Amino acid sequence: MRGADRGIRPLRPPAQRWAVFDAAQGGGYIPALASFQGRRSMGLTIRPSNPALMAVGRILAANRELLVARWAGWISDRLTQAPHIKRPTVERQLTLLIDILIEMAGPLRRQTAQLWFDACEFYGQVAAARGLAAGEVVEEIQHLRELLIRDLSELIAALPARHSMATVLRLNRQVDKGIAHAVVGYTDALVQNLFAQRGTPIPDPLPANDDIVYRLNQFEAELQHLREKSR
């Protein structure tokens, strides 16, 4: 007796990966509807419109100082863990990340993508020097997401459904990638601290305040260069 006659569900043919099991037709498989396949492929290509991204950039630029103040205020209690790193230095680092996000909403979004990754990775390195735990690094950048949602909620709600969803997904992706790179930087800093020079710990390998300021100068100069290059 064949497997189909005993009520055993036959294996799905490899050539019909997205086929649908049809019990009404004796337990066979039929190809998926073309409209369903079209919706699947369409969902992978939805992108926010340029006007929507430009509007996001304008709002972020207008609320830049307020965003930095709110973000710095939220993490202020943690700054006391590392008195050797000054509060203005950390606020300057937060400002850099927001400035890069602003440019990523405009015509420089492709050019500033790598700068965003590098700046977030450096944020993780500085977080290690501040004595934070890995989860705290994630929480600090995660709080940026909450601030963005709060400030951009009215704009997102006013956009057409297709563009609003695409804009939210894009912002979420950028923040998620920033978190991932921050964790990488944090982990690398700890490994360097614990196992430098053939496994022998070395004193104070993490960046001091002056080293952080020097690196921030480099990031800001690179961002300014990209801005001038696009003019």
Q: What angle do CA 47, 174, 80 make, to 5 degrees?
A: 160
Q: What is the pLDDT of residue 123?
A: 96
Q: What angle do CA 123, 124, 125 make, to 5 degrees?
A: 90
Q: What is the pLDDT of residue 206?
A: 60
pTM of the model: 0.75
Q: What is the pLDDT of residue 46?
A: 66
Domain map of the chain by residue range?
A: 16-43, 50-230
The topology under which CATH files domain 50-230 is: Globin-like (1.10.490)
Q: From 82, 174, 182, select the one nearest 136 (Cα to Cα).
A: 182
> Mean pLDDT for each 10-residue chunk of the chain (231 residues)?
48 43 46 42 60 87 93 88 87 96 88 94 93 92 92 85 84 94 93 67 67 95 89 70
* CA pair distance 192, 23, nearest whole angstrom: 60
Q: From 173, 62, 177, select the one nearest 114 (Cα to Cα).
A: 177
| Tokens found for residue 177 | 């990638």
